[in-house]
C-alpha cells in the first residue's frame, strides 16, 4: 500500500491536482516519516495550494532528510519570500547558486530582491500567478521517453560544463553567491554607538572592510576574507552589516595542504584569536596529552617544539577522523581555527607526520 499511495500521488502531482495529493498523503504522515519523496510531494502540493504553514512543515522535513536537494531548497526560499522573510529567502537562493551557479529560479529571486519591491508588489505577484516563477520548476506534462532522452543529453552537457568549470576555476571564476551579497543601499546607519567593541570603525571603514572581505572571497583568498569578516563582526558595525558579513563567512572553506594560501603564524593568531576564527593554519609541533574517544581524537599540540628547540605555545586539537598517533610524535597539523569563549583551538583537517631528528 505504501508504494501504491506514492505512485498515485506522483500521477496526481504531474497532473497538477495538488489538493488531491494533499488529501491522499496527509493522513499518512507518520507512516512516511522517513520518506523524502513523500514530504517533497506533499510540501510542494501545499505550496501550490497556498497552504504556507503546511508547505513549510513538509518541505522543511524533506530538507532534513536530504539537505542538498536543489528543488527543496528552492521550495524553502519561495516560502520565505511569500512570508516576506527576505533575509531567509536570500540565504536559500544563495545556497542553490553555490550548488548550481546557473540556476535560473535562484537568479530570478536574487534579481527581485536586489531591485527591491514595495509591500503591495508581493501581493501583485501572487494575484498574477507570477509568484510561481520562484517555485521549484514542475515537470512538463509530456510522455516519459522524451524526458529520458533530454535528461541524458542534459547530463552529458552538465558533465562537460562541470569539467570546464573545474578546469577554469584556477583562473578565478567568481562565486555567484558571494557576488550577490552586499550592504543594502538604503541602510539607515552603518555603525552602532558605543565603545564595547574590539574595533571601532567609521562608516567609510565599514564599507571598505566589507568590500575587501567580499573581494578576497571572489579571489578565493578565504583566509584573508575571514580576517576581514571577523573584523566586522568584532566591530561597531550595524547589525544589518554583521548579518551580511555572517553570510559571507558561510562561504569560507577549509583548505588542504596543497591549496592553503595566506597562512598565519601561531604568534599572530594567539595574540588575537577571535580575529582569525574560521581561518585555516598549518603549525608544527609535538603531540601531548593524547586522548582517543569514540567519535574524535583530542590532543595538545606543543607548537614549535617539533625539533625540541623552542616551545611557542600549546593549542588544543580535535580530530574528527581516525589517525595513528602517540604522545611525543612530531606533526604538522592543518587545522581550522575555532575560538569559543576566547579560547583558541584547532579543528584538525589533515596531518603530516614529521621525521624525528
**CATH, residue 128:** 1.25.40.10
Residue 9 located in a structural domain: yes
Give yes or no: residues 14 and 91 share one domain. Answer: yes
Q: State residue 109's pLDDT score.
A: 87
- Of 195, 219, 249, which one is at a domain's C-terminal end? 249
Give yes or no: residues 274 and 235 share one domain. Answer: no
User: How does pLDDT run across 3-26, given as a tens digit for each residue?
Assistant: 567 889 899 999 888 888 888 888
Residues of the chain with pLDDT under 70: 1-4, 115-120, 140-174, 356-357
Q: Which domain holds residue 231?
A: 181-249
Give yes or no: residues 280 and 241 share one domain. Answer: no
Q: Which residues pair with 319 in a beta bridge?
A: 297
Q: Which residues pair with 287 in a beta bridge?
A: 301
Burial class (CB in 10 A: 0-12, 13-18, 19+), 296: middle
Give yes or no: residues 244 and 271 share one domain. Answer: no
User: How does pLDDT run across 205-224, given as a tens digit for each residue?
Assistant: 999 999 999 999 999 999 99
Give yes or no: residues 242 and 200 share one domain. Answer: yes
Per the structure, how many domains does the chain have?
3
User: How far is CA 173 from each of CA 93, 96, 146, 167, 212, rounded to the nearest angstrom?
Assistant: 19, 17, 34, 10, 17
- Residue 231 cell numbers, joined: 573584523
Neighbours of 298 (CB within 10 A): 15
Give yes or no: residues 16 and 130 share one domain. Answer: yes
Q: State residue 32's pLDDT score.
A: 85
Residue 153 located in a structural domain: no
- Of 194, 218, 249, which one is at a domain's C-terminal end? 249
3-state secondary structure 229-291: HHHHHCECECHHHHHHHHHHHCCCCCCCCCCCCCCCCHHHHHHCHHHHCCCEEEEEEEEEEEE
- Of 73, 105, 134, which one is at a domain's C-terminal end? 134
CATH number assigned to the domain comprising residue 320: 2.40.50.140
CB of 319 closer than 8 Å to CB of 287: no
Residue 148 located in a structural domain: no
Give yes or no: residues 116 and 220 share one domain. Answer: no
Give yes or no: residues 14 and 102 share one domain. Answer: yes
Exposed e or buried b per residue across 329-349, where buried means at least 16 C-beta atoms within 10 angstroms of its C-beta: bbbbbbbbbbbeeeebbbbbb
Residue 76 located in a structural domain: yes
3-state secondary structure of 107: helix
CB of 273 closer than 8 Å to CB of 339: yes
Q: State residue 210's pLDDT score.
A: 95
Amino acid at each position: 500500500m505504501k508504494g501504491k499511495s506514492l505512485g498515485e500521488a506522483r500521477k496526481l502531482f504531474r497532473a497538477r491536482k495538488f489538493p488531491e495529493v494533499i488529501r491522499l498523503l496527509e493522513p499518512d504522515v507518520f507512516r512516511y516519516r522517513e520518506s523524502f519523496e513523500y514530504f517533497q510531494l506533499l510540501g510542494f502540493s501545499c505550496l501550490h495550494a497556498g497552504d504556507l504553514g503546511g508547505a513549510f512543515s513538509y518541505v522543511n522535513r524533506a530538507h532534513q532528510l536530504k539537505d542538498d536537494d536543489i528543488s527543496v531548497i528552492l521550495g524553502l526560499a519561495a516560502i520565505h519570500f511569500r512570508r516576506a522573510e527576505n533575509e531567509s529567502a536570500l540565504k536559500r537562493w544563495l545556497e542553490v547558486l553555490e550548488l548550481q551557479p546557473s540556476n535560473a529560479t535562484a537568479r530570478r529571486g536574487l534579481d527581485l530582491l536586489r531591485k527591491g519591491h514595495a509591500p503591495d508588489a508581493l501581493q501583485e505577484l501572487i494575484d498574477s500567478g507570477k509568484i510561481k516563477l520562484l517555485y521549484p520548476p514542475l515537470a512538463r506534462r509530456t510522455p516519459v521517453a522524451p524526458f529520458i532522452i533530454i535528461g541524458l543529453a542534459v547530463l552529458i552537457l552538465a558533465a562537460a560544463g562541470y569539467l570546464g568549470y573545474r578546469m577554469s576555476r584556477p583562473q578565478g571564476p567568481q562565486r555567484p553567491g558571494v557576488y550577490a551579497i552586499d550592504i543594502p543601499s538604503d541602510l539607515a546607519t552603518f555603525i552602532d554607538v558605543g565603545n564595547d567593541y574590539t574595533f571601532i570603525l567609521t562608516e567609510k571603514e565599514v564599507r571598505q572592510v566589507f568590500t575587501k572581505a567580499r573581494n578576497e572571497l571572489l579571489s578565493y583568498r578565504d583566509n584573508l576574507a575571514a580576517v576581514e569578516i571577523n573584523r566586522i563582526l568584532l566591530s561597531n558595525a550595524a547589525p544589518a552589516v554583521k548579518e551580511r558579513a555572517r553570510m559571507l563567512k558561510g562561504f569560507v572553506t577549509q583548505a588542504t595542504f596543497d591549496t592553503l594560501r595566506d597562512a598565519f603564524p601561531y604568534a599572530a593568531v594567539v595574540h588575537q584569536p577571535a580575529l582569525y576564527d574560521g581561518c585555516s593554519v598549518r603549525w608544527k609541533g609535538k603531540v601531548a596529552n593524547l586522548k582517543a574517544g569514540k567519535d574524535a581524537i583530542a590532543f595538545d599540540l606543543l607548537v614549535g617544539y617539533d625539533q625540541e628547540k623552542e616551545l611557542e605555545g600549546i593549542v588544543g586539537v580535535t580530530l574528527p577522523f581516525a589517525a595513528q598517533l602517540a604522545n611525543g610524535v612530531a606533526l604538522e597539523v592543518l587545522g581550522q581555527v575555532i575560538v569559543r569563549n576566547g579560547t583558541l583551538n584547532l579543528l584538525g583537517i589533515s596531518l603530516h607526520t614529521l621525521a624525528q631528528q
